[in-house]
């Protein structure tokens, strides 16, 4: 086994340090936007020096991109698993397919409730729609397409009627993001907000496609 050169980080150390940096950077970019955050602030929040931040993530632009790539990977894992289960349910009949769509939406809500920085990061990006639009193409559009294709397949198989899946998916995504923002607003009852929002989504899907069995 070759000896590790002095000063060269171990693979586990590299992975852990990069994750710490990305976690800190995501929180800062989500709270203040990319222009208001410098690499020194990221380094301070992560408990490392600027050289370490640059070593693991490159320039600030590359760091910003990596933050979106990180949340995208986590979100994609959740949606791909849920969409796969929903596709399997298509062969079991309309009621099972609709139940699977309810489950997929619940899993998406769970994901964003547990990771509110994802919503905050995207909202900062969308405040300036003409800047960094390439992030949407890399880290949002593939997820929209995944669910749109699922709805189209369900419609083609007769499980539901859905003439505009792109509108439905984007509307639901924005509704969930708005819900996450509401949870972060001071006052009110988060438990009640969660309960009532999930009931609303259930009624919405039932109105669109019919109640599951």
- The domains of the chain are located at 9-58, 67-209
Tracing tokens 């006052």 back to the chain, one arrives at: 187
The residue whose two tokens read 């910003």 is 64
- Any idea which fold 67-209 has? Tetracycline Repressor; domain 2 (1.10.357)
Architecture in CATH of 9-58: Orthogonal Bundle (1.10)
Cβ atoms 177, 119 nearer than 8 A: yes
Predicted local confidence at residue 77, as pLDDT = 96
| CA angle, 51 then 52 then 57, to 5° | 100
Q: What does the pLDDT read at residue 212?
A: 61
The pLDDT value given to residue 15: 54
DSSP string, 107-120: HHHHHHHH-HHHHH
pLDDT in tens, 142-188: 999 999 999 999 999 888 999 999 999 999 999 999 999 999 988 87
Which tokens sit at 89?
A: 């349910």
Amino acid 187: pLDDT: 84
| Residues whose CB falls within 8 Å of the CB of residue 129, separated by 6 or more in sequence, listed in order | none
Per residue in 1-47, pLDDT (tens digit) is: 444 444 444 434 445 999 999 999 999 999 999 999 999 999 999 99
Condensed to tens digits (0 to 9), the pLDDT of residues 73-105 reads: 999 999 999 999 999 998 888 889 899 999 999
Of the candidates 118, 10, 130, 12, the one whose C-alpha atom is nearest the C-alpha of residue 69 is 118
**b/e code 97-121 from CB counts within 10 Å (16+ = b):** bbbbbbebbeebbebbbebebbbbb
pLDDT tens digits, one per residue of 188-201: 789 999 999 999 99
Place of tokens 């505009």: 164
Exposure string of 123-144, with b = 16+ CB inside 10 Å and e = fewer, is ebbbeeeeebeebeeebbeebb
* pTM, full prediction: 0.86
Model pLDDT, residue 8? 41
Using an 8 Å Cβ cutoff, are 170 and 178 in contact?
no
pLDDT for res 182: 93
Average pLDDT across the chain, whole number: 90
């Amino acid at each position: 086994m070759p000896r590790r050169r002095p000063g060269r980080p171990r693979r586990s150390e590299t992975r852990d340090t990069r994750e710490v940096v990305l976690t800190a950077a995501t929180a800062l970019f989500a709270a203040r936007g990319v222009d208001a955050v410098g690499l020194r602030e990221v380094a301070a929040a992560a408990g490392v020096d600027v050289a370490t931040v640059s070593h693991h993530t490159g320039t600030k632009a590359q760091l910003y991109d990596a933050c979106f790539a990180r949340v995208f990977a986590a979100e994609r894992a959740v949606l791909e698993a849920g969409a796969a289960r929903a596709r399997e349910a298509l062969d079991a009949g309309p009621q099972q397919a609709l139940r699977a769509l309810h489950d997929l939406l619940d899993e998406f809500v769970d994901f964003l409730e547990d990771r509110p920085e994802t919503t905050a990061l995207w909202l900062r990006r969308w405040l300036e729609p003409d800047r960094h639009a390439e992030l949407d193409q890399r880290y949002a559009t593939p997820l929209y397409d995944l669910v749109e294709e699922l709805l189209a397949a369900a419609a083609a198989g007769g499980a539901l009627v859905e003439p505009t899946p792109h509108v439905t998916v984007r509307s639901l995504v924005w509704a969930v993001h708005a819900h996450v923002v509401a949870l972060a607003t001071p006052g009110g009852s988060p438990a009640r907000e969660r309960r009532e929002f999930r009931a609303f989504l259930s009624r919405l899907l039932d109105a669109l496609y019919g109640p599951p069995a």
